Amino acid sequence: MYSDLNGKVAVVTGGSKGIGNAIAKRFGGEHMSVVINYHTDEVGAQKAAKVVEDEGGRAAIVQADISTEEGNKKLLDTAIHEFGGLDVWVNNAGMEIKSPTHKVSLEDWDKVIAVDQRGVFLGSKTALDYFVSNDKKGNIINMSSVHEQIPWPTFASYAAAKGGVKLFTKTIAMEYANQNVRVNAIGPGAINTPINAEKFADKKQYDKTVSMIPMDRIGTPEEVAAGAAWLASDESSYVTGITLFIDGGMTLYPAFKDGEG
């Protein structure tokens, strides 16, 4: 546990399942107050809130589409009215749509960019405005991906969005570094969450994914949440503008692992 997180207020977008759910739980374990955003899964969000409370934290759930300004404002308003302010904002919500790039519809392209990139901008803007206007120490964590670095054919919209998140994160980290706001990204590799359920149910695809990971296993949402807790805490007080890859070594060019080539 990180004692400085006790009593701090966090917003976690896309918190009803997957990585966001694990981050909310971990923040509960740090005795934080957590605004859990969900898009459609109210029951999942209610369950997540109960877990946060069981872990020793406080929780509020908020339906919001994080690709909109109103959605993000709703999250900040809840943090302020329910818990008295904001300390940590996690832009976790994300989505992907597979398609050969020459066939992708404009609608699908826009959908992915709206959630994965515009949502991160709007969430960050909302949090930054609060931190700066209130002259308050702040912390922003953006969920990127190994695909901010590794090209991903048939997922060009996702890779474009995450590549954008990488440089957006570094840019605002620099812009607000001397105003007591730290901004970092997390780049998960292959993590066992609903976004991958279909893929991992197929043994061939599962084995292929594992073969691209030097540690020879898929990661857990809890392992990503541990990174989020560290970045949120003062233990990382001199860290800003990084992407913390939590990927079992996936970004280490695993094809070279036999020392050949």
Enumerate the active-site residues: 158
Contact call for residue 195 and ligand NAD (CB under 6 A): yes
Residues 86-125, mask of contacts with ligand NAD (x by CB under 6 A): ------xxxx-------------------x----------
Strands (E), 74-223: 88-91, 138-143, 181-188
245 phi/psi in degrees, rounded to 5: -75, 130
User: Per CB under 6 A, which region of 15-23, 48-56, 100-108, 174-182 contacts ligand NAD?
Assistant: 15-23
Task: Give 243's strand partners.
Answer: 185
> CB of residue 4 vs ligand NAD: minimum separation in angstroms?
25
In this complex, which beta carbon is closest to ligand NAD, that of residue 10 or of residue 143?
143
**Cβ neighbours of residue 196 closer than 8 Å, sequence gap 6 or more:** 190, 218
Contact call for residue 243 and ligand NAD (CB under 6 A): no
Contact call for residue 188 and ligand NAD (CB under 6 A): yes
Residues 15, 118: Cα–Cα separation, whole Å: 18
User: Per CB under 6 A, which region of 63-71, 98-106, 148-156, 174-182 contacts ligand NAD?
Assistant: 63-71
Any alpha helices (H) in 30-155, and if so which ranges? 42-54, 69-83, 106-113, 119-133
CB 156 within 8 A of CB 144: no
**Cβ neighbours of residue 121 closer than 8 Å, sequence gap 6 or more:** 168
Contact call for residue 33 and ligand NAD (CB under 6 A): no
User: Per CB under 6 A, which region of 1-9, 28-36, 76-84, 194-202 contacts ligand NAD?
Assistant: 194-202
> CB of residue 210 vs ligand NAD: minimum separation in angstroms?
13
> CB of residue 29 vs ligand NAD: minimum separation in angstroms?
18
Contact call for residue 196 and ligand NAD (CB under 6 A): yes
CB 50 within 8 A of CB 250: no
User: Per CB under 6 A, which region of 8-16, 176-184, 200-208, 248-256 contacts ligand NAD?
Assistant: 8-16
> CB of residue 68 vs ligand NAD: minimum separation in angstroms?
8
Q: Which of 8, 9, 17, 86 binds ligand NAD (CB under 6 A)?
A: 17
In this complex, which beta carbon is closest to ligand NAD, that of residue 7 or of residue 200?
200
Helix axes 18-29 and 42-54, enclosed angle (nearest 10): 20
Task: Give 34's strand partners.
Answer: 10, 59
CB 9 within 8 A of CB 88: yes
| Residue among 246, 224, 238, 236 nearest 2 (CA) | 236
Residues lying near ligand NAD in the complex (CB under 6 A): 13-14, 16-20, 37, 39, 65-67, 92-95, 115, 143, 145, 188, 190-191, 193-196
